[in-house]
Amino acid sequence: METILVLTHVDESGAALTKASLEAVTAGVELARELSAKLTIGILGVNATAAAAAVTATGARILTASDAAFAQARYATDAAGFEALAHAAQASLVLAPGSARVARVAASVAHRLGGFIDTHITSLSSNDSVDATRWFYRQRVEAVVNREGRPWFLLLDAGTHAAYTGEAGAGEATVEAVAVTLPATRTTVEGLRSPLLDAQTIRPDAKLLLVAGAGWTKKQPDGKLHVAEAGKEILDFLRLTGASLGSSKSLADQKAEGAGGEQSVLPFLTHMNQIGQTGSTPRHAKGLSTCCHGEEPHVVGWRFIGDRRAISLDPNCGWTRGKADVVYIADAFQVIAKVNALLEARGA
Ligand SMILES: Cc1cc2nc3c(=O)[nH]c(=O)nc-3n(C[C@H](O)[C@H](O)[C@H](O)COP(=O)(O)OP(=O)(O)OC[C@H]3O[C@@H](n4cnc5c(N)ncnc54)[C@H](O)[C@@H]3O)c2cc1C
């Protein structure tokens, strides 16, 4: 008989669960129902007890690990906190969000409990065994994995489950505080400095992914480069739509190589923006590819995009024609400038 622990953590507020944590709660509730298994939810945070209100309606046993030390992600303290929660729960299956915070410590926590771990899980189901699905080979091959060993830790990819939305404070759940013995720490965090919001172009929670290809920095029909204009149109589009920015490898490489000569570059792009076989495969409801011809961004980078559209000057581009739902054979400079003007006029 399986028992399930959902390991979660709070967001920057210190008292509310992250979206990815709430997605893991949904996965736990669904799997517990399928298996008729006992469900426990473990929460780590500065004020984990306050965050617990969001999941009391699940009817699960709730364990909290609260401490000022959890105000920031830190390997030693996070590992100790999650380990204490997992020990208290004694579960055979441990589901957790594949967030940077959890991913950093989860393998260690699994090891400390004598357990096993699999990552990038996209769905869970149960027949005779518990089956977990994940992608391999840059999202080209989908596999179903199961294990006999327990406890089995499963890190879930963000965006694969709906975030749990039960009524806050509903239900009869009792919240149990778990004592954590924290290791000595040598580092004091005095504050955080983060980039300005409009400097952050990678937005995993955005509904739309704008893919920029190398065409933006190539000679245009007038025989000239329009790189400054390209940068402005792309940044305006991101500001007006809240979209996330993906890039083809050709465009990202121009920056990495410090492209000199004729080829100027877009300064806000890094390899973190690159999508495709050697980039990422983000999940967004919609995608708009612009000035992009490549196979890898369209076939692999777009793997998990729902509704796909492309703007290209090339009517014979097989990848946009093959992978986009709608292809506009048009000049992306003109189209995006017009879209930006319409959005600006609408007060977006
Ligand atoms: C092992 C390997 C791994 C790779 N991994 C990746 C990867 O992860 N991601 C990736 O992206 N690539 C990857 N590549 C590279 C990939 O094969 C392509 O070379 C690359 O994606 C092409 O980038 P691009 O489409 O932006 O540029 P280009 O091929 O130069 O295409 C530019 C397009 O823009 C169009 N265009 C120009 N101006 C305009 C305009 N004004 N309006 C509309 N359209 C316009 C042109 O018609 C052209 O179709 C990989 C290659 C290899 C060999």
Residues 211 and 138 in one domain: no
Residue 255's pLDDT is what? 60
pTM above 0.75, yes or no: yes
94 has pLDDT over 60: yes
Residues 98 and 215 in one domain: no
C-alpha 269 – ligand 1 centre gap (Å): 15
The domain boundary, picked from 177, 212, 228, lies at: 177
256 has pLDDT over 70: no
As a residue count, the chain comes to 348
CA 94 – CA 5 distance, rounded (Å):
5
Q: Which atom of ligand 1 is nearest to the CA of 277?
A: 8
CA 118 – CA 116 distance, rounded (Å):
7
Residues 79 and 201 in one domain: no
Choice from 222, 266, 277 to test ligand 1 binding pocket (greatest atom count within 8 A of CB): 277
C-alpha 295 – ligand 1 centre gap (Å): 7
Residues 27 and 124 in one domain: yes
Instruction: Give residue 168's domain range.
Output: 3-177
* CB-CB contact of 265 with 228 (8 Å): no
Residues 22 and 78 in one domain: yes
Query: pLDDT band at 187, cuts 50/70/90?
Result: confident
Mean pLDDT value of segment 146-171: 94
CA 156 – CA 311 distance, rounded (Å):
33
Residue 154's pLDDT is what? 98
Residues 164 and 210 in one domain: no
Query: pLDDT band at 262, cuts 50/70/90?
Result: very low
Q: Does residue 78 belong to any structural domain of this protein?
A: yes
38 has pLDDT over 60: yes
Mean pLDDT value of segment 170-176: 88
Residues 161 and 43 in one domain: yes
Task: Name all residues whose Cβ lies below 6 A of ligand 1.
Answer: 213-215, 218, 220, 248-251, 274, 276-279, 291-297, 311-314, 317, 331-333
Choice from 139, 219, 233, 249 to test ligand 1 binding pocket (greatest atom count within 8 A of CB): 249
Residue nearest to atom 37 of ligand 1 (CA): 215
Residues 169 and 205 in one domain: no
Residues 226 and 288 in one domain: yes
Please state which of the ranges 46-60, 90-104, 267-281 shows the lowest mean pLDDT: 267-281
Residues 169 and 201 in one domain: no
Query: pLDDT band at 198, cuts 50/70/90?
Result: low
Mean pLDDT value of segment 72-96: 97
Identity of the highest mean pLDDT range in 170-174, 298-302, 308-312: 308-312
C-alpha 141 – ligand 1 centre gap (Å): 23
210 has pLDDT over 70: yes
Query: pLDDT band at 348, cuts 50/70/90?
Result: low
Query: pLDDT band at 202, cuts 50/70/90?
Result: very high
Q: Does residue 155 belong to any structural domain of this protein?
A: yes
Q: At what angle do helices 332-345 and 227-241 cross, to 10 degrees?
A: 40
Query: pLDDT band at 267, cuts 50/70/90?
Result: confident
Residue 325's pLDDT is what? 95
- Within the chain, residue ranges assigned H as helices are 19-35, 48-51, 75-89, 100-112, 227-241, 249-256, 295-296, 318-323, 332-345
CA 219 – CA 304 distance, rounded (Å):
31
CATH number at residue 121: 3.40.50.620
Query: pLDDT band at 36, cuts 50/70/90?
Result: very high
Residue nearest to atom 43 of ligand 1 (CA): 312
Q: Does residue 188 belong to any structural domain of this protein?
A: no
306 has pLDDT over 70: yes
Q: Which atom of ligand 1 is nearest to the CA of 274?
A: 9
Query: pLDDT band at 114, cuts 50/70/90?
Result: very high
Q: Which atom of ligand 1 is nearest to the CA of 331?
A: 42
Task: Please count the structural domains in the chain.
Answer: 2
CATH number at residue 229: 3.40.50.1220
Query: pLDDT band at 257, cuts 50/70/90?
Result: low
Q: What is the mean pLDDT of the chain?
A: 93
CA 83 – CA 78 distance, rounded (Å):
8
191 has pLDDT over 90: no
C-alpha 204 – ligand 1 centre gap (Å): 22
Q: Does residue 190 belong to any structural domain of this protein?
A: no
Residue nearest to atom 19 of ligand 1 (CA): 294
Residues 224 and 319 in one domain: yes
248 has pLDDT over 60: yes
| Among candidate residues 344, 345, 347, 310, the one with its CA nearest the CA of residue 236 | 344
Q: Does residue 113 belong to any structural domain of this protein?
A: yes
Residues 304 and 336 in one domain: yes
Residue 263's pLDDT is what? 45
200 has pLDDT over 60: yes
Share of the chain above pLDDT 70, in %: 96
C-alpha 250 – ligand 1 centre gap (Å): 6
Half-sphere exposure in the Cβ direction for 132 (13 Å, CA): 23
Q: Does residue 234 belong to any structural domain of this protein?
A: yes
CA R_g for the chain = 23
